[in-house]
Amino acid sequence: MFYFICGTESRELKYLEILDDIKKKNPGIQEFAFDVALKEDDKFFEKLNFNSIFGGKEILVLKRAEKLGNIEEVLTLVSNVEMDSKYVIIDFHTEGSKKNDKLFTLLDEISKKTETKVIKTEEDEKNLSNYIKENLKTDTKETQRLLSLIGENPFKVKNEVEKIKSFLGDEPYDFEKIKSMISVQKEYFIYECVEKTIKGEIFEVMEYLKKTKEYMGFLYSMYGEVETLLKLLELEDEGFRLRGDYNSFKSEYEKIKKYFYVNKRPAHPYAVFNKYKNLKKFSRKKLRRLSYKCWEIEKDIKTGRLPMDIGVEALVMEVNR
C-alpha cells in the first residue's frame, strides 16, 4: 500500500493517524523512517528495494520529500516496487495542489497499477480544531482556547490531546480540571495573573507572585499585553477592520499576523482576538504610560536599582490606578 500525504503542517496529524491505523492492523510491524532533510533518501531507496527473506511486513516512511529535486522520478520508482509486504508513506509539504498539477496527474497514473491513497490537507487551524473537537468533544470556544495555549505544532497537539483524554477518562472535558496538567501550565498561570490584574483582582496576583517568584515572567507578559493592545489600536487607525466575530477577525488577521510573532511564530489568532475585551479597560494614553512603565521597571531591575518584587508589585498597582 502506498500513501502520499501532502499539505501544510497539519498533514502530520493525518500521517500519525495512518501510522496508528497500520500498526493496529499489523501488531509488531517494523517501522523505518527516513528524512530527506538529513540526506537519508538513499537509505530509503535501499530499504525500498530490499525484500527480507523472513517475509515480515514493514512500514517505510520518507519525510520532507518536497526537498527532493526529482519527486516525479522517485514516485515512478516507488510505483514499480512490489508492495505486498510494505506500507510506503511519502510526506510532502505543499501550500496548495494547484501548483502541483503535474505531480497529481502522475499520482493518478500510479494509482491505476499500485494501491495508492493521496491525502491532501490544507487549512491547518481548521484541521487541528477538528482533531481537538473530535477527540475531546469541545465546543468552538474551548477548542480555540486550548489551541491558543498549546500552539499549532501537530505533534504537540496530538500529545496534549492524548494526555488530556487519558487524564479525563470517561469524564466530559472541563478546562478547570485539565489546566493544571497541560504543558503550558506555568505560562497559563502567568497569563491568568495578567487577566486578573486587569480585572482588579490584585490580591490573588500578589499571593501567586510571592509564592512562585515569577516576577519577571509576569512583567514580560504584562508588557506583551500592553504592546499587543497598542498594536491593535494602531492597526485599526490604519484601516484594518478587526472588530466583530472571530471568523471575520481571522480573515483580517492573515494580513497583519507579521506584527504578532511569538517565538518566531505568529500568535494564534484567537489569542490576539481575545485581547479585545481588555481594550475597554484602558485609554490609549494609559496604555502608552503602562508601556513606558514596564520598560522603566525592567531597566531598573536589570541595573539593580529596584528589587524585582517591589518593581512588579508597583506595576500591578499602576495597572489599576
pLDDT band, residue 97 (cuts 50/70/90): very low
Q: Is pLDDT of 244 > 80?
A: no
Distance separating alpha carbons of residues 244 and 122, to the nearest angstrom: 25
Question: Can you read off the three cell numbers belonging to residue 275?
Answer: 485581547
- What is residue 229's predicted lDDT score, i.e. its pLDDT? 92
- What is residue 52's predicted lDDT score, i.e. its pLDDT? 58
Distance separating alpha carbons of residues 144 and 321, to the nearest angstrom: 32
Distance separating alpha carbons of residues 191 and 289, to the nearest angstrom: 21
How far is the first Cα of the chain from the last one, in angstroms, to the nearest whole number?
A: 66
Q: Give Cα separations from 274 to 24, 187, 243 (angstroms).
A: 40, 16, 11
Provide mean pLDDT across the span 232-252: 80
- What is residue 184's predicted lDDT score, i.e. its pLDDT? 64
Provide mean pLDDT across the span 137-143: 89
Q: Which of 105, 104, 159 has the alpha carbon at shortest distance from 131? A: 159
pLDDT band, residue 54 (cuts 50/70/90): low
pLDDT band, residue 123 (cuts 50/70/90): low
- Least confident window among 49-58, 142-151, 206-215, 279-288: 49-58
Distance separating alpha carbons of residues 64 and 184, to the nearest angstrom: 28
- What is residue 108's predicted lDDT score, i.e. its pLDDT? 82
The residue among 242 and 51 whose pLDDT is bigger is 242
Query: pLDDT tens digit string along 55-83?
Result: 678 888 888 888 887 787 778 877 777 77
Provide mean pLDDT across the span 181-192: 75
Scan for cell 500521517, then name that residue. 15
Q: Is pLDDT of 295 > 80?
A: yes
